[in-house]
Amino acid sequence: MFHVLVSDSISSDGLAPLLNDENINVVQKKVSEVDDLEKYDALLVRSATKVTEELLQKMTNLKIVARAGVGVDNIDVEAATKYGVVVINAPDGNTISTAEHTFAMMASLVRHIPQANVSVKSGEWNRSAFLGTELYGKSLGIIGLGRIGSEIAKRAKAFGMNVLVFDPFLTKDRAQKLGVNSCKLDEVLAQADIITVHTPLTKETRGLLGKENIGKTKKGVYLLNCARGGIIDEEALIHYLEIGHVKGVALDVFEVEPPVNRKLLDFEQVIATPHLGASTKEAQLNVASQVAEEVLKFLNGKPVTNSINLPTLTKDIFDKIQPFYKLAKKLGQLASQYMKEPVQHIGIVYEGTVAELETSFITKAFLAGFLGERVDSTVNEVNAGLMAKERGISFSEKIASNGSGYANCIAVQVDGDHRTFSVKATYIPNYGERIVDLNGFDIDFYPAGEVLYVEHIDKPGVIGRVGKVLGDHGVNIATMQVGRKNIGGEAIMVLTCDKLIDDQLIEALVQFDDIVSAKTIHL
């Protein structure tokens, strides 16, 4: 039974996939009202619940946080990554609703609809007080042309507006397709009659429209923020409203929500809504069902799309990656058990068909396997990269043209304080995983179970001696492979055994002159 906590108001219809699953227990309560936080596998939130490091520390069984919406600024993604918790969102379920809300705000702003509404309801009939401005023919500046910005651009064009866009990641091709003018920020600021922001809130965008940049706008400009509070600096806004430079402002979001800056809200020319961009039946159903289905898939061990801290994989791609992912995890375990010493660098080279897949995911699987053998805390593909860095282990991955001769090949080199370990492996469909090279020795074995790895001199009788020692200790040999570089030179033996190999057996083996070392590896 999985336990899912839904701590914000999320559409029950959208949650149906979770609510109807008999293996899932869904509790709909605020975090502050729950006293057994440690039992939950999944947490579903909107923007109200703050998923802090402190909360993550209390939710010791948590595996996934799902944001029924776009912005994840209420989630400490870095801390979630550290604790191996996957963070997902529903990136496009509320795009149209937010674009429509922004447009409604824009029209309301230039035609004074909220103010006129209050006036008529209070018994006035003051037509001259609400002289408006047409949108037609005006220049609309869009800062951030992502999902929402693009939908606004389309609607603005239908209204006969000239669209100027600033987005440092906007390609010429996309700008052309959308029929917008890609500009520098200063050009948008100088030329736009109305400016609307649609970026995430980041270090770069916090205060993007602040004292300096609002000062570069046209006198009489209208400003809108239906993205995130803080992209427009509220104190700067007050200044430019006071001196009459900014003619009107529409805000759906605030630096602090609910807003505490009464001075800003007291301006007649500031209109506001309480973070309603995504508040439509359609958007709420969309985002809730998107995350509910994703969480269900995740709890059933299937790949999730829209992960913030894991590569996003479709089912098709996941199915292709899965054999390599499993193999890489085993290689990580093998390398870690072989090396048993501090490691500085892990280099992974992908060749052939595996190189065409999402290799960063496979690398993380290797790291998870490797670190899982050495760290106490839970390590998985989400936090493996971070944990490796924290432990001073650098890692790199490369794609190489096919030199091994196999249809696919994962080659790993681990550099330790005193030695280096290398392994090459391949996956053969309908046959399985094979290790084809260990420390430069040609070999061919299936990596599973109890493995005995022996380094020895290639001499007659050594294999027989090893067999006898195992027999004397009651250990049955399942498979045995030998590899050597030259006749009579260094050689290795890899045996898979049906029983755990104890220290006494290892000691008995290394007493022979021709046996250089013997190790057990459990896969």
Ligand X SMILES: O=C(O)[C@H](O)COP(=O)(O)O
Ligand Y SMILES: NC(=O)c1ccc[n+]([C@@H]2O[C@H](COP(=O)([O-])OP(=O)(O)OC[C@H]3O[C@@H](n4cnc5c(N)ncnc54)[C@H](O)[C@@H]3O)[C@@H](O)[C@H]2O)c1
Rounded to the nearest angstrom, the gap between the alpha carbon of residue 242 and the centroid of all alpha carbons in its chain is 43
Of ligand X, ligand Y, none, which one sits near residue 332, judging by CB under 5 to 8 A according to partner kind?
Answer: none
What residues from 132 to 171 belong to the interface with ligand Y (CB under 6 A)?
A: 143-149, 166-169
* Closer to ligand Y by Cβ: residue 287 or 523: 287
If one asks whether residue 495 binds ligand X (CB under 6 A), the answer comes out as no
* Closer to ligand Y by Cβ: residue 277 or 303: 277
Q: Where are any strands of DSSP class E within 226-323?
A: 246-251, 270-272
If one asks whether residue 47 binds ligand X (CB under 6 A), the answer comes out as yes
- Beta-carbon contacts of 423 under 8 Å, excluding residues fewer than 6 positions away, are 331, 334, 335, 411, 412, 435, 437, 438, 439
If one asks whether residue 71 binds ligand X (CB under 6 A), the answer comes out as yes
Binding mask 69-88 for ligand Y (x = CB under 6 A): -xx-----------------
CB 473 within 8 A of CB 504: yes
CB of 97 to ligand Y, least distance (A): 7
What is the helix (H) or strand (E) element at residue 503, kind and residue range? helix 503-510
* Closer to ligand Y by Cβ: residue 143 or 466: 143
Enumerate long-range contacts of 256-259, CB under 8 Å, 24 or more apart. Answer: 256/229, 257/47, 257/229, 259/229
* Closer to ligand Y by Cβ: residue 97 or 496: 97
Binding mask 14-53 for ligand Y (x = CB under 6 A): ----------------------------------------
Q: Which of 18, 31, 40, 46 binds ligand X (CB under 6 A)?
A: 46
* Closer to ligand X by Cβ: residue 97 or 333: 97
Of ligand Y, ligand X, none, which one sits near residue 200, judging by CB under 5 to 8 A according to partner kind?
Answer: ligand Y
If one asks whether residue 277 binds ligand X (CB under 6 A), the answer comes out as yes
Q: Which of 7, 11, 81, 94 binds ligand X (CB under 6 A)?
A: 94
CB of 163 to ligand X, least distance (A): 23
* Closer to ligand X by Cβ: residue 106 or 110: 106
CB of 506 to ligand Y, least distance (A): 56
In angstroms, the Cα distances linking 483 to 127, 423, 440, 514 are 94, 13, 9, 15
Unique residue bearing structure tokens 């009459």 = 244
Which of these ranges, 65-73, 216-224, 339-347, 479-487, lies near ligand X under the rule CB under 6 A? 65-73
Output the six-digit token pair for 178. Answer: 């959308």
Amino acid, single-letter form, for residue 520: T
If one asks whether residue 144 binds ligand X (CB under 6 A), the answer comes out as no
DSSP class of residue 138?
P
Say how far apart CA 451 and CA 521 lie, in whole Å: 5
If one asks whether residue 51 binds ligand X (CB under 6 A), the answer comes out as no
If one asks whether residue 198 binds ligand Y (CB under 6 A), the answer comes out as yes
Residues in the chain: 523
* Closer to ligand Y by Cβ: residue 115 or 199: 199
In angstroms, the Cα distances linking 101 to 224, 439, 520 are 11, 62, 64
- The bridge status of strand 515-522 relative to strand 450-457 is antiparallel
Say how far apart CA 86 and CA 48 lie, in whole Å: 19
Which of these ranges, 193-201, 286-294, 402-410, 437-445, lies near ligand Y under the rule CB under 6 A? 193-201
If one asks whether residue 204 binds ligand Y (CB under 6 A), the answer comes out as yes
Q: Which of 141, 207, 230, 277 binds ligand Y (CB under 6 A)?
A: 277
Of ligand X, ligand Y, none, which one sits near residue 46, judging by CB under 5 to 8 A according to partner kind?
Answer: ligand X
CB of 58 to ligand Y, least distance (A): 26
Residues catalogued as catalytic: 228, 257, 275
Output the six-digit token pair for 288. Answer: 């809730």
- Beta-carbon contacts of 177 under 8 Å, excluding residues fewer than 6 positions away, are none
CB of 252 to ligand Y, least distance (A): 5
If one asks whether residue 205 binds ligand Y (CB under 6 A), the answer comes out as yes
Order of strands, sheet of 139-143, starting from the edge strand that comes earlier in the sequence: 181-182, 162-166, 139-143, 194-197, 221-225, 246-251, 270-272
Output the six-digit token pair for 437. Answer: 């090279």
- The bridge status of strand 490-497 relative to strand 477-484 is antiparallel
* Closer to ligand X by Cβ: residue 253 or 462: 253
Q: Which of 44, 59, 209, 253 binds ligand Y (CB under 6 A)?
A: 253
Say how far apart CA 385 and CA 309 lie, in whole Å: 11
Residues forming a β-bridge with 326: none
Write the DSSP assignment of 30-63 as a string of letters: -GGG-S-GGG-SEEEE-SSS-B-HHHHHH-TT--
Return residues touching ligand Y (CB under 6 A). 70-71, 91, 94-95, 98, 143-149, 166-169, 198-201, 204-205, 226-228, 252-253, 275, 277-278
